[in-house]
Amino acid sequence: MVVLLPAVFGQKPPAKKTILVAADGSAQFKTVQDAIDSTPDGNVRIDIKPGEYRQVLTISANGVELRGLGKTPQDVVLVFDNTHTSAGGTGKSATVTVSGDDFHATNLTIANDFEKHHDRAEEGSQAVALHITGDREIFRRVRFLGYQDTLYADSKTCHAAGETGPCRASRQYFADCYIEGHVDFIFGDAKAVFDRCEIHGMAHPIVTITAQSRVRPDEDSGYLFRNCTITADPAVRDLLLGRPWRDYSTAVFVNTEFKGTLDPKGWMEWSGRLKTSDYAEYGSHGLAGDLTQRIAPSRQLTAADLVRYTAKVWLAGEDGWEPDRAP
C-alpha cells in the first residue's frame, strides 16, 4: 500500500492515475468498486459520470479521490440501504467505508436510503451513509443523505476508555457540504471541521445533530462547525445541537445561522456525561433561541477564544496539515 508523504527536497508526489466510471457502461468501469479494486496501491483519481451507483463501497488504500462529473452533487449518487440489523452493526451498515488516508471526495452524493423505503424500528434502524476513519480526509460539495447515524466521522483508535498509548484522532475536513439526518446523525470521535455546511434535521420528534464520542481527556478529537446553516423539517419538535455519546464529547459551533428553531437548552443529557463534555458556541443567530437558557455546563465563547477555532489550528496535528493547501 502506498503511503503519501509530503514532497522531499522539492520533489512532487507522483501524479495520480485517472480512471473513468460510467453506470451506462461507456467508460473503463461500470461500478465504482471495480475501479477502486483495480488500483490496490491507491494514489488514484476516479472520475464518475452522472448516474446512480447502488453498491457498498470499501476504500482502504491511501490517496484515493472520487470526483463527480455532473453539474451538481445531485448528479452522481452513491447509495445503498444496509442497516445495523441487516449488516450486523452500525459501522458495518455504511454505504461507503473509508479507512485509507488522504482521501478526497468532490461534487457527489453519498446516501443510505433505508428509511426512505422501509418502516423504521426503534432498534436496529441505524443506517450510515459514510463511515470514515482515515486521516487527512477532504470533502468538498458532497451531500450526505440519511436518517439515523448518517455520517460516522470516526478514528481508527481511541474507542475505549481503558486503552493506553498514543491516541491520535483522525482529521477530516468538510467544506460546502449538505448533511441531513435526525438521531445523532453526525457521530464518532474524529477531529473534524465543517465549514459553510448546511445541516438539515429530517422529520422526527427529537433531532440531535451530533453525538461526538471522545472517550479520554487526553484524546485530541472533537467537531468544529464554522459558518454553517441549520435547517429542519417542520415536523421536528425539538432540535438540539447534540448529546454526549461518550464521557468527553466535544462539539463547538461558531457563527451558526439557525433557520430551524433550536430548543433553547441547546444540548441533551445522556447518562450523566454532560458534566465532563465540552460544548460551546459563538455567534449563534437566527432561530437560535434564548442563549441564557442553554443547559449547563455548555458555554458561550468570547471573540478572544476564536483563535483556537479555525480549520488551520483545529486540524494541524503534528504534521501541520492544512486542508486548504491540499492538492
Residue 220 lies in a domain: yes
Residue 32 lies in a domain: no
List, in sequence order, every residue forming a beta bridge with 131; answer none if it has no partner.
Answer: 97, 152
Q: Which helix (H) or strand (E) holds 35?
A: helix 32-37
DSSP assignment, residue 319?
T
Q: Mark whether 184 is an active-site residue.
A: yes
Residue 232 lies in a domain: yes
Distances (CA, A) of 306 to 141, 152, 195, 226, 313: 25, 26, 15, 11, 10
Task: List the domain range (segments joined by +) for residue 143.
Answer: 47-159+169-316
CATH of the domain at 245: 2.160.20.10
pLDDT tens across the length of the chain (327 residues): 444 444 444 456 678 999 999 999 999 999 999 999 999 999 999 999 999 999 999 999 999 999 999 999 999 999 999 999 999 999 999 999 999 999 999 999 999 999 888 877 666 789 999 999 999 999 999 999 999 999 999 999 776 666 776 678 999 999 999 999 999 999 999 999 999 999 999 999 999 999 999 998 889 999 999 999 999 999 999 999 999 999 999 999 999 999 999 999 999 999 999 999 999 999 999 999 999 999 999 999 999 999 999 999 999 999 999 998 776
CA distance 296 to 299: 7
What pLDDT is stored for residue 161 in this prediction?
63
Residue 37 lies in a domain: no
All three cell numbers of 13: 508526489
What pLDDT is stored for residue 98 in this prediction?
98
What pLDDT is stored for residue 125 in this prediction?
85
Per annotation, catalytic residue among 135, 184, 189, 247:
184
* Helix (H/G/I), strand (E/B), else coil: 1: coil
Q: Each residue of 186-226: pLDDT tens digit? A: 999 999 999 999 999 999 999 999 999 999 888 999 999 99
- Structurally, how many domains does the chain consist of? 1
Residue 243 lies in a domain: yes
Angle among Cα 316, 320, 326 to the nearest 5 degrees reads: 90
Per annotation, catalytic residue among 81, 149, 247, 263:
149
Residue 26 lies in a domain: no
What pLDDT is stored for residue 124 in this prediction?
74
All three cell numbers of 63: 490517496
CA distance 283 to 158: 31
CA distance 277 to 268: 11
Q: Each residue of 28-79: pLDDT tens digit? A: 999 999 999 999 999 999 999 999 999 999 999 999 999 999 999 999 999 9
List, in sequence order, every residue forming a beta bridge with 117; answer none if it has no partner.
Answer: none
What pLDDT is stored for residue 325 in this prediction?
79
Residue 244 lies in a domain: yes
CA distance 57 to 214: 27
Residue 16 lies in a domain: no
